[in-house]
C-alpha cells in the first residue's frame, strides 16, 4: 500500500504491463502465459485505479498514457506472437575498449595544447566556420 498514492502510480503500471508483454514475446510456455496473464492483470488494475483519481488528467499521467496506453491497446487487440530466435547466437563483438572518463580525456589534452586545439577545432558540435575561428584565435594566442 502506498503512503501517498497519486495518479502517476497506476499510469506507471502500464509500463510494467507492456514490458511484461514484450518479454513474453521472447520466452516459451509456460512462462509466456504467466507473463501475459500478469500483464493483463496489471493493465486492468491500472485503468481502474487511474480512472478512480479525480486528477487523472494531470500532464504526467496523460503523457504516460499517450505512449503506454496506446501500446496497451495495441497488445490487447492482437496476439503477442512469439518472435523468432536470433539466427546466429555466436556473435563476436570483439574485446571491450577500456573506459576513459571525459575528465581524464580533458586532463590528457591539457598536457598537449595542440591536441586540445585540434579537438576544439574538429568538434562535431561546432560548425566549420566556428571551428576555424577558434583554431585561429588559439593559434594566435599560443604564438604570442
Residues 112-144: tens digit of each pLDDT: 777 777 777 776 665 666 666 777 777 777 666
Task: Give 18's pLDDT tier (boundaries 50, 70, 90).
Answer: very high
Helix axes 31-52, 8-24, angle to 10 degrees: 160
What is the pLDDT of the chain when averaged over all its residues? 82
Residue 85 C-alpha from the chain's centroid: 23
At 42, is the pLDDT very low, low, confident or very high (cuts 50, 70, 90)? Answer: very high
What mean pLDDT do residues 38-59 have? 88
Fill in the DSSP letter of residue 35. H
Cell of residue 21, nine digits: 508483454
pLDDT of residue 45: 93
Which has more confidence, 53 or 120?
Answer: 53
d(CA 64, CA 125): 32
Q: What is the mean pLDDT of residues 5-26?
A: 88
∠ Cα 71 76 78 (to 5°): 95
Q: Which long-range contacts (CB under 8 A, 24 or more apart) does 42-46 make?
A: 42/13, 42/14, 42/16, 42/17, 43/13, 43/14, 43/17, 43/72, 43/76, 45/10, 45/13, 46/10, 46/11, 46/13, 46/14, 46/17
93: region left, alpha or beta (phi > 0 left; psi from -120 to 50 alpha): alpha
Q: Taking Cα atoms as reference points, which of 103, 107, 113, 109 lies closest to residue 142?
A: 113
Confidence of residue 98 (pLDDT cuts 50, 70, 90): very high
- Give the count of beta carbons closer than 10 Å to the beta carbon of residue 42: 21
Indicate yes or no: pTM above 0.85. no
Residue 43 pLDDT greater than 90, yes or no:
yes
Amino acid at each position: 500500500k502506498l503512503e501517498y498514492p497519486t495518479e502517476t502510480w497506476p499510469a506507471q503500471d502500464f509500463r510494467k504491463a507492456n514490458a511484461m508483454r514484450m518479454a513474453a514475446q521472447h520466452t516459451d510456455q509456460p512462462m509466456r502465459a504467466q507473463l501475459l496473464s500478469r500483464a493483463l492483470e496489471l493493465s486492468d488494475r491500472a485503468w481502474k485505479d487511474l480512472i478512480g483519481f479525480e486528477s487523472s488528467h494531470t500532464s504526467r499521467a496523460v503523457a504516460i498514457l499517450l505512449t503506454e496506453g496506446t501500446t496497451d491497446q495495441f497488445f490487447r487487440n492482437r496476439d503477442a506472437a512469439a518472435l523468432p530466435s536470433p539466427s546466429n547466437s555466436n556473435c563476436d563483438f570483439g574485446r571491450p575498449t577500456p573506459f576513459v572518463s571525459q575528465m581524464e580525456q580533458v586532463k590528457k589534452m591539457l598536457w598537449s595544447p595542440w591536441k586540445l586545439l585540434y579537438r576544439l577545432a574538429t568538434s562535431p558540435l561546432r560548425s566549420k566556420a566556428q571551428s576555424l575561428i577558434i583554431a585561429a584565435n588559439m593559434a594566435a594566442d599560443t604564438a604570442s
